[in-house]
Structure 1
Amino acid sequence: MASAWERKWQYSDLGKKVVFLPSILLCELFIDPGFPMMLHGVLLLLDVSGFTTLSEKCVQRSGPDRGAEELAQTLNAFMRDILEEVLAFGGDILKFAGDAVLVLWRATQPQLPKAITLALQCCRKIQKKYGTRDTHVGLRLHLKIGISTGTLAFLSVRGGDQQYFFIYSRALNDVIEAQSLSAAHQVMLSQTCWEQCEQWRIWAKPLPGRRVVKVVGMRRLSRQQCQVAVGQLDQYTAEWHLEGSGLRRPALKMPNDPDVATRLEKHLPAAVLHKLHQDVPLELCSELRLVTSLFVQLQFVVRINVEDLSRSLSDSSSMISEIISPHKGEINKTLLFDKGCTFLCVFGFSGAKLASESIHALECAMQIVRMASTRLTKLQRVSVGVSSGMAFCGLTGHPERFEHTALGFKVNLAARMMVSYPGLVSCDAETYAASRLPSDCFKELPRRNMKGVTNSPTVYQYVGITEKW
């Protein structure tokens, strides 16, 4: 894995932080705004279909240790090629979600048609070159891509000592729907995106009964036209640039600025800061570790305005951080989809290992449910999935834009349990066994089919430590 992050240039000290963050956070407008900031843009959601099944097959073929490493190597090789194209077309990589990536082309209202063309040409090229990938376990991966556009609310909220950002808008819901309706080698546009694009360049077919159109062809831009278009949008996507650096993201060579560094550090996970403060080279920030993954989904009421949502997200982030931090857990990922917010919390990263880790995670899960139910006024439902097992803990993405996260079948399983058993604290058999808690702390749940999981595992509901125990 070390060679995956090596480049002929060296990042600046500040660049080592920038590489974990989207370019939009470098813009002056988004320096800890404290309230929703409105912008226009084009969203792209790219998902690798078959990732959960791949993670399961890697473990079945090579065992939990080697399987987790093989999964990370396969995903990184695939993602590097794809994200190289995204960066070349001026896309700002906002969020990673394991096997999915959310990208933004920020633009003014008049520039949206050209931004849509850029995003679409990028996607068509990606689907042509990388739309299908055969893996070493005999499984074929496919890309599913959706594009939308509109007015976006940029939300920046505090959670403990850290800062988290979210994008919220109808366009986010639209891009999720478009991507979900996509199939292998397809690109789907939301209806709003279709209405605002340069239609004379695009051949498309509407999907009956859906506000989505399937792109079947387009008049492509020349390389020079693409470069001009990217340059025109660039002033709106990243304001910190250096010429002649040879990087897709010249901001990685930014001179050191203590004020900027301090601000950016608030957005970095504790595991990343721990490595950076120890001057650990980026290529050595990955390892295999036994961790416990805790996925939390907070489903808010349907009718919630952006101000109330921003307040709820801030309260949620602070509450979860307050609960898990004393137990050495950390919020690794935050995602906002369709008025539901998902947090990935990880227990057991380097420098944060405790004995009886599964008990800490389960009790944190129960506290989150109890406190969320009483403190979050706009909450409709809270669901938690907890799993334990070997995971690849390290860098995933592209050498110029990556994240530090946990990857593995058990991590995916926690997310699937969270969705399949709504309103409960669910856990896998390994967490149940490792906790060594009495059986009356748990209830075995009916087996359910989970997306991408071929053999439905035994799942338990954690009901809490009883007074009897």
Structure 2
Amino acid sequence: MKALGKSPDKGREAAGVNFPSRLVQLAAFLPDLLLYNDHCSVQRTLPSVETFNGVLLCAEITGVLLYGGDILNFTGDGLLVLWKGSRSQLSNIITLVAEYSLRMQWWFEYTCSSMDLELQLKIGLSAGHVSQLIVGDEKCQYLLVTGQQVDDARLAQSLAETWEVILSPNCWELCKRDILEAKKIPGQKAVKLRYVKNLHQDYSCHCGKWISSLQKFSGILRRNASILSPNSEHEKALRRFVVGNILEKIDDNQPLKFFSELRPLTVVFVKLQFYESIKMPESCGSIQEATVHISGTIESSRGKILKISTFGKVQMAARMLMLYPGLIACDEVTYSKSGLPSRFFKKLPDEEMNDAVTSEVKYEYLGRKKNP
């Protein structure tokens, strides 16, 4: 517990632990896209939108910081990573990300076979315009990326078989085809990456210098955010993007190993669907309105929005959302722990899930009004 009347610095001295500044601890939970954004200020007008060029990787993977990737979002066992750059840099970045993807595929396959692990790794790449959207209110704010390239990365990943890397049509169009060898996929414009050809000396030298510049301090620190200087205004802006229980641990100067938690939760997924013809300003306004409304509604019951994602949802609750559209569905544990009479629920028909086989019974919540 944090002692009253003591400064954070005195608390650190008493504990005999050298804690990084609060700004650095906040940065550990946020992507660089947010940390070094010009719009990261307390006075930001919401929703805030920025468009830039980049290469996106959608996969179930770790270790991307070694190659300069910025982890934007985790969703269950999915991962979305961004390499931001100018339009002229995209072809080189695609080559870098393709090389990294193949190396990670080899490493995962070798590790799984040697340790007898049943893991699957499927990677999809896309490149082009990406939009960054910040929504929320004066208390909490959320960063998400959206646009055609996010959808393309997700689609490319869904087309991949185990240990495959799929390039979206736009990624294949922008890449250096004299370096990347790919195979066409029947009925698709996306292609399967086979291998990266021997890189010519100039590119290898350039790529090596780029990666070396990212791996500072002999590989101990992978992010510039690790050495951020204390800045009260920057810290105040970033605090709005971190959930409350993490902020409490940071303010209490708790060691990083205590930040992970395991607690019973009730999780609700809400899916927003837009017409394909909708324009970016309209969709951003709708997401902002939904965010503020949902946050205000669940706040009275101590509910919080944990994540807003645009690139897939793979947890059990999200799978049920996809399997039973238009219904309020729940699992057997939620049904039994709700304390409500059985007449408020109806058993749902079994549906086979694409990436998970489960025999668990699922229910539709009918509501009190339908069953007085």
CA distance in 1, matches of 2:53, 2:212: 17
Distance between the aligned counterparts of 1:307 and 1:134, measured in 2?
45
CA pair 132-162 structure 1, distance change in 2 beyond 3 A: farther
Bigger proportion of residues as strand: 1
SS at match of 1:331: coil
Q: Does 1:25 align with 2:6?
A: no
Counterpart pick for 1:431 among 334, 337, 356: 334
Q: Deviations over 1:267-324 (max 9, x none)?
A: 1112211222222211111233222222222222222111011101111111111121
What is the correspondence of 1:11-90 to structure 2 with a 5 Å cutoff?
11-31=20-40, 32=44, 34=46, 35-47=48-60, 82-83=62-63, 86-90=64-68
**Residues paired across the two proteins, number:** 349
Which residues in structure 2 correspond to 1:257-268 (within 5 Å)?
257-268=231-242
Q: Which residue of 2 aligns with 1:129?
A: 107
Structure 1 gap ranges (5+): 1-7, 48-78, 235-240, 343-410
Amino acid of the structure 2 residue aligned with 1:174: D
Identify which of 177, 180, 195 aligns with 2:173.
195
Query: CA offset at residue 220 of structure 1?
Result: 5.0
Aligned-residue offset at 1:30: 3.2
Is the counterpart of residue 225 in structure 1 residue 206 in structure 2? yes
What is the SS of the residue equivalent to 2:355? coil
> Which amino acid is the alignment partner of residue 167 of structure 1?
V
- Following the alignment from structure 1 to structure 2, what is the Cα–Cα distance between the partners of residues 136 and 215? 25
Q: Which residue of 2 aligns with 1:215?
A: 193
Change (3 A) 1:99 1:135: farther
Q: Determine which of 151, 157, 160 is the counterpart of 1:179.
A: 157
CA distance in 1, matches of 2:240, 2:306: 13
Q: CA offsets per residue over residues 412-450 of structure 1, 9 Å max, x none?
A: 322221111111111112211211212222122212112
Asked if 1:444 is matched to 2:347, the reply is yes
Match of 1:252 in 2: 226
- Give distance in 2, aligned partners of 1:115 and 1:464: 51
Question: Does the aligned pair in 2 maintain the 1:164–1:334 contact within 8 Å?
Answer: yes
5+ unaligned residues in a row in structure 2: which ranges? 1-16
Change (3 A) 1:432 1:199: same
Letter in 2 for 1:196: L
Note the aligned Cα RMSD (angstroms).
2.8
Q: Is the 8 A contact 2:142 2:307 kept in 1?
A: no
Relative distance call for 1:160 and 1:293 in structure 2 (3 A) is farther
Q: Which residue of 1 aligns with 2:11?
A: none
Q: Secondary structure at the match of 1:157?
A: strand
What amino acid is aligned across from residue 261 of structure 1 in structure 2?
E
TM-score (ref. length: structure 2): 0.86
Choose which of 87, 94, 107 in structure 1 pairs with 2:85: 107
* C-alpha distance in structure 1 between counterparts of 2:176 and 2:106, whole Å: 21
Residue 243 of structure 2 aligns to which amino acid in structure 1?
P
Q: Deviations over 1:50-82 (max 9, x none)?
A: xxxxxxxxxxxxxxxxxxxxxxxxxxxxx5xx3
What corresponds to 2:125 in structure 1?
Answer: 147
Which shows bigger deviation, 150-159 or 17-26?
A: 150-159
Q: Distance in 2 between matches of 1:445 and 1:467?
A: 17
Pick from 422, 429, 453 the counterpart of residue 356 of structure 2. 453
Contact 2:344–2:365, Cα closer than 8 Å, also in 1: yes
Which deviates further from its counterpart, 280-289 or 176-185?
280-289
Q: Aligned partner of 2:183: which letter?
A: K
Q: Distance in 1 between matches of 2:341 and 2:115?
A: 39
**Pair 11,432 (structure 1): closer, same or farther in 2 beyond 3 Å:** same
